Each structure stands twice: as structure tokens, then as C-alpha cells.
Amino acid sequence: MQMIWALFTLVGFAIGGCPYMEGEPAIKARQPMGSSAEDHFLDEFTVDDSNSYLTSTVGSKIQDDKSLKAGERGPTLLEDVITLRKIQHFDHERVPERAVHARGAAAHGVFTSYGDWSNITAASLLNQTGKETPVFVRFSTVAGSRGSADTVRDVHGFATRFYTDEGNWDLVGNNIPVFFIQDAILFPDLIHSVKPAPDREIPQAATAHDSAWDFFSQQPSALHTLFWAMAGNGIPRSYRHMDGFGVHSFRLVTNEGTSKFVKFHWKTLQGKASLVWEEAQILAGKNADYHRDDLWNAIESGNGPEWEFGVQVVDEEDALSFGFDILDATKIIPEELVPVTPLGKMKLNRNPRNYFAETEQVMYQVGHVVRGIDFSEDPLLQGRIYSYFDTQINRHGGPNYDQLPINRPHVDVHNNQRDGAGQNFIHLNTAAYSPNTLSNGSPRQANQTVGNGFFTSPTRRVEGNLVRATSPTFADVWSQARMFYNSLIPVEQQFLINAMRFEASQLKSEIVKSNVLIQLNRVSHDIARRVGEALGMQAPAADPTYYNDNRTAFVSIFNHTLPTVRGFKVAVLTSDAGNGSLSQAAALRQAFAPAGVSVVVVGERLVPGVNATYSAADATAFDGIIVASGAEVLWGANATSTLFPSQRPKQILSDGYRWGKPVGAMGSAEGVLRESGVDTIPGVYAGGDVQGLVKGFVEGLGVFKFVDRFAVDS
């Protein structure tokens, strides 16, 4: 242990390049984890530049704002190592972005076990009530590049690293519990089809193009996941408002060696919530960092999000007893069949201090499991185990990526792996092989397989002839897509159909369009007919083999109110010409504060008390909109101003209403509601009493989307 601490210090010293720094030393002594709220495992790698002189990368004090020239107007000299090194370092600042999931944001947090779960797993993070384990969680979209917009429609990554006291466990999951394909060998095909066209690199971060739907309709295993993505799950309100899933079946293994299949779940304690498509599209331009912003601000304002961690546990012999194969990642186990047992809770409470060092360099790996957790034979999972190790070599440039501060486990690492690019450690053992006598046999084998349920559960047994084949138990890829659709409320089904209309109507190939209708028709004739209508195409005759009336209660996003609205934003529209609207906005701010809702005061100019101007504000940025009394002047003769685009205040109100948000108006502003096309139906609040209005409005924020405002066709 001592040696590792010493090495960490040396490494930090090299990274910090700080021997000549003045003021606070950058390298702090390592403290035991969790001894104070400020303690953090990355502290020793931080560099504090306050009160310091510039130095070269090897510590000499330098001036680096003017290159060394032969004469004031002469050429820069080759011997100007300061300029050369600075530019060279800049030239190499980027590492390859992730091949998928390039766009994302992350945060630190803590996982707390609800109990001692050693009856189902030997995993040490779950063996004690109240036991805390640090985590680092990265959320992402899949298809877009690193600079793409947050609110594009996509599956979202939900990757969690647990820094357990027995090594790192990475649960690299998504916000959708199923996946497009059943076998890892198809992953490059899937991704090539959804990524932009190879000739013109269009479109960015979108599946509304021929190759994606060509693949989806040729590989119908994609349908179930596609349905989830076309529904609200593809456009969550924020990372905080989505669930997470391990997707595959894994195994939990006890110290006694018994094992069971499990599906891992993260259930958001903020409640599931989604945008509507038009909002998401506009946000992609107005604020491409919408989700990133939300997560960052929620944590900074003390509203760090929480998820409950749970498992569905299935006996090994029941793998095929539900009418599908639990090794097939295109299937969920409906919670009515196997309820989710909550095991613990995670809270994110700390933002990264450096995006590159932490969020960009975190390298999750499905193969990082700890004692008590084992894989399953899911062929998709098997391929992932390889892919994540391999891709990190491409990103990092060598095999020592696990030594980066964010990737280090919080336990000692001893093995005979040596050297490689960027080796951080100075290994003292000169007998880097096993078995040895020269190092007293160390590091020694720690074979815990039998009796201790290490990586591999001792009861696992496989046999079979070598085949390149899909198991017949994976054959039905339509029934669960249908069950998913059946389980949505009508307006949500409409959103899904509208999303498909949006995407399919942009397809150029008539063959692809017709193949899409053939596949949709296998799920539901009604869907095929309604999507076909927008394409000007007739759906094929009903194809009822997989039609069913199954439903599950746990997949709808729009059928519940949110348990908390903390971290939400309400716009209060004001006018500095309006009588007292700014002071009313201040009173509203105070009244919303106890609910954890922040108020953004919008006005014509950034005068004191105003946080945003009409020239920049837009309804997409807010979860609710209130017009303060006095602001009605902007609806009348002053509706046109050079300070903001024509009719902008009215547009903010009517857009918010149209997108299902709670809206309201106070006192003399009440008349603007009708004038802006706002009918008095649920989710519209009016009155002169600040406290009374806020009480109702907070409930409206919990409803989040007033769905009666959206038309449903048949």
C-alpha cells in the first residue's frame, strides 16, 4: 500500500511539473477516502496554477507569448524550443473521439447499498447496509460526433464506474433496456448504417436517412429498440430524467458459488420525462449543450440527481421459461413477471474539474467486473467484452490507459504487465513473471474461482457443436415491439408514429420505404397504415402472426407525475416599461425557491433583476412560463421592438403552451393568455396571488407535459 501511495505521488509530481511553483503546493498528501466532504480521489492529480510563473514542460521558468526571432521582423528560429514545444503539444491535444457515444457529459457521485446482499452476490459493494462506493457516471448519445447537439433523437448511454474496494466494476448501459442486434458481429454494420453517409458526411447525429432504415428493415431485430427510441426515450428532458439498464442478462454469484441471472436497472428518482420532438429540434440549435448544462447546474445548485439501483433475478433454469430467451438483448423481462428488487441508491454530487482529463479520458469496459458479478452467454455481451478493451488502445495510444487518474482503481494493482507507452509506474519487482522464486512467488495467484464466486461462476457449463447460427429462441423479434407500443398512452403512440413519419418521409429509396412498412406491419397494421399515410403509400395487408394484446406497466413516460421538480426552470416574462413586473418576478423567484425551481426573469434589457433578454430567450429553455403583471404591454403596441424579434414574448408563451408546458399569467397580464392562443384547460394558471399561483404551478411542473394539448389521429 505504502509503495503505491509513493508512486502516485511521484506520478502526480511529474504531471504537475510543479517544483518551481509558488504558493499552494499542487501535490497534496493522499487522504483516506471519505474523511471529509472535500476529499476526492483525483485531488492529488490536480494542478493549481494560481500564483505561479509559466514553466516549460520540464519546469524551467519561461516567457511564452513571443517567439524567438532573428531580428524584430525576422523569421522564428528553430532553436526556439519554447514555441516549438508549445505548438507541438497543441497539435497533439486531441485523442480520437469514441467510435460511438462520442458526445457526452459525466459526474462523480456515491453509491450506497441498502443492505447486505451476500445472499445473492459476493460483490463487496453490496455486502453491508449503508456501504458507500464512489462512482463516475457518463451519459451520452450514440451516433453523433463529439460536438453534436445533446437533444438529437438517439439511444442514450448510461455508463457507471463503481470504484469498489475490490476493484473497478463498469456497468456500461443505456437508457433503453434492449438493443438493436442480437450478435456482436453485426455492430459495425449497425453503426455504419446510422452514421452519416460516407460520401458527404450527412446527416449528423440522426437516423432520418436511407442507410439507417435500410438496416432497420433488413435486420428486424432492431425494431424493438427502434420503437423505444422513436418514443420519448429517444429525447429525454435531461440525463436526470431517464432510467438506465444493463441491457444484457448478467450473473450474480455468491461466495458459496451459486449463481443467478440478473438484469440491472437504474430507476430515476427524478421521474422519467421527455421533450416533444419540435422542442428537441429547436434546442439542438438554441442550446446544443442543453443536457450538459442541466446536469452541471443541477449538481452545482445542490440538486444532484439520484437513481435507485435494482435487479431482476432469474434462476438459471428459468432462462427460457418466459416465452423468450433472456440471453437475447432485444427482450425485456416485463416487471410483472419478475419485479425489480432495489439494492441501493446512487447520487451524483460533484462535477468534473477538467472535461478532458475526466470525461474524455474515462474508459469504461464491459469486461471490468468484480468478484460476485459474472457474464452471461448473451452473444452481444460476449463481443462487447472484447471491443471495449480494444478501442481504448486506439484512443489512448497504448495499453496503459488503466493508469490514467480517472481510470485507476482505488485498490493496489500488482501484476506482471510491463512497459508500454505512457507507463506511469516504476515497478521494483525484477522478476516480472510467474511462477517465480526470486520475488518469493509474488505477485501470487489469487484463485478465488471455486468457493468464492470470482469472475466465473463455478456452476457455469457450456457444450455444443461449433455453429455460426442464431438460436431459434431468438427468432421472434416483433412481439415485444408490439407489447411496447400497446403499453404507451395514445398521445405517446402518436409521438412514436409522428417520429417514424418524420424519419421515413426523408427516405429517398422507394424500396427502403416499402421494406419499412412491411416490418412495421408485422408489429401492427395500424402503425404501418398511419406511417404509410404520411408517405403516400398503402400499407400491406395485415400480417398478424405476432400481433398481441400484451402490455407492461413500466414503460410509459407520459402516464405519471414527477416525484420532484427540483432543478427545473421557470421563465417569468417581464417588461421594464410594465408597472412593477420586475418586483413581481422577484416575489415569484422567492416563492419558487423552496421547491428547488429556479426563476429566469426575461426582459427587454439586462437591467438589474433581469437574467435573460427576449433577444436570446426561447420557450425551449424553460419548463414553464409565467407572464408577470405589467408585461402585457409587450403584447400590444410594443409587440414589435428592435430589441427582440417581432412578437417574441407572445411566441415564448404560445410555444410553451403548444409544447405541453405549464403556463400562467398574473393580474393585469391575464388577458395575454387568450391573445396568445392559450385556452383555459389543465396546466394554465392565472391570478393575482403569488403564493397561490406558485403552488398550483409547481404541481403543473410535476405533470410536466399536459398531453391533452396534442392532437391524436386514428
Least distance (Å) between residue 231 CB and ligand HDE: 18
Task: Give the span between the Cα atoms of 160 and 505, in whole angstroms.
Answer: 37
Q: Does 373 bind ligand HDE (CB under 6 A)?
A: no
Sheet with strand 624-627: strands edge to edge: 612-613, 598-603, 569-573, 624-627, 663-666, 684-687
Which one of 304-312, 384-392, 454-462, 592-600 is the stretch in contact with ligand HDE (CB under 6 A)? 384-392
- Length of the chain in terms of residues written: 714
Among 8, 45, 187, 478, binds ligand HDE (CB under 6 A): 187
* Interface characters, 79-98, with ligand HDE (x: CB under 6 A): -------------------x
Nearest partner of 279 among 287, 268, 269, judged by Cα: 287
Among 265, 384, 513, 648, binds ligand HDE (CB under 6 A): 384
Q: Does 380 bind ligand HDE (CB under 6 A)?
A: yes
What's the grid cell of residue 282?
Answer: 429547436
Among 62, 84, 99, 432, binds ligand HDE (CB under 6 A): 99
Q: Which residues of 34-64 are buried (b: 16+ CB within 10 A; e: fewer)?
A: eeeeeebbbbbbbeeeeebeebeeeeeeeee
Nearer to ligand HDE, 407 or 676 (CB): 407
* Interface characters, 514-553, with ligand HDE (x: CB under 6 A): ----------------------------------------
- Write the DSSP assignment of 325-354 as a string of letters: -TT-TT----TTTSPPEEEEEEEEEE--S-
Strands (E), 8-146: 104-113, 132-141
Among 364, 474, 485, 614, binds ligand HDE (CB under 6 A): 364
| 695: CB partners within 8 A, 6+ apart | none
Least distance (Å) between residue 138 CB and ligand HDE: 4
Nearer to ligand HDE, 100 or 332 (CB): 100
* Known active-site residue 209: no
Nearest partner of 363 among 172, 155, 111, judged by Cα: 172
Nearer to ligand HDE, 254 or 407 (CB): 407
Q: Which residues pair with 69 in a beta bridge?
A: 76
Q: What are phi and psi of 213, to 5 degrees?
A: -75, -20
* Interface characters, 282-321, with ligand HDE (x: CB under 6 A): ----------------------------------------
Task: Give the span between the Cα atoms of 216 and 210, in whole angstroms.
Answer: 10
| 69: CB partners within 8 A, 6+ apart | 75, 76, 77
* Residue 20 assigned as binding residue: no
Amino acid found at 165 = D
Least distance (Å) between residue 170 CB and ligand HDE: 9
Distance of CA 231 to the CA centre of its chain: 17
Residue 340 CB-half CA count within 13 A = 22
Q: Does 239 bind ligand HDE (CB under 6 A)?
A: no
Which one of 386-394, 532-540, 603-611, 624-632 is the stretch in contact with ligand HDE (CB under 6 A)? 386-394
Task: Give the span between the Cα atoms of 290 and 622, in whole angstroms.
Answer: 11
Q: Does 230 bind ligand HDE (CB under 6 A)?
A: no
The residue behind cell 449528423 is 204
Tell me the angle at which helices 490-504 and 210-218 cross, rounded to the nearest 10 degrees. Answer: 120
| 66: CB partners within 8 A, 6+ apart | none
Which one of 173-181, 403-411, 422-430, 472-480 is the stretch in contact with ligand HDE (CB under 6 A)? 173-181
Least distance (Å) between residue 374 CB and ligand HDE: 16
Name the active-site residue from 101, 156, 291, 368.
101
Among 103, 108, 131, 138, binds ligand HDE (CB under 6 A): 138
Size of the site for ligand HDE (CB under 6 A): 25
* Known active-site residue 303: no
Task: Give the span between the Cα atoms of 407 and 163, in whole angstroms.
Answer: 9
CB atoms within 10 A of CB 707: 20
Least distance (Å) between residue 213 CB and ligand HDE: 20
Name the active-site residue from 168, 174, 287, 407.
174
Subset of 314-333 contacting ligand HDE (CB under 6 A): 329
| 125: CB partners within 8 A, 6+ apart | 111, 113, 131, 133, 162, 164, 165, 166, 169, 370
Among 13, 296, 322, 388, binds ligand HDE (CB under 6 A): 388
Residue 474 CB-half CA count within 13 A = 20
Nearer to ligand HDE, 163 or 657 (CB): 163
Among 387, 429, 486, 651, binds ligand HDE (CB under 6 A): 387
Task: Give the span between the Cα atoms of 482 and 525, in whole angstroms.
Answer: 11
Least distance (Å) between residue 91 CB and ligand HDE: 23
Task: Give the span between the Cα atoms of 106 and 42, in whole angstroms.
Answer: 15
Nearer to ligand HDE, 140 or 581 (CB): 140
Q: Does 145 bind ligand HDE (CB under 6 A)?
A: no
Among 12, 157, 334, 702, binds ligand HDE (CB under 6 A): 157
Among 184, 404, 512, 690, binds ligand HDE (CB under 6 A): 184
Q: Does 101 bind ligand HDE (CB under 6 A)?
A: yes
Q: Does 100 bind ligand HDE (CB under 6 A)?
A: yes
- Which residue ranges make up the annotated binding site for heme? 388
- Which residue ranges make up the annotated binding site? 388
Residues that bind ligand HDE (CB under 6 A): 98-101, 104, 138, 140, 157, 159, 172-174, 179, 184, 187, 247, 329, 363-364, 380, 383-384, 387-388, 391
Cite the active site residues.
101, 174
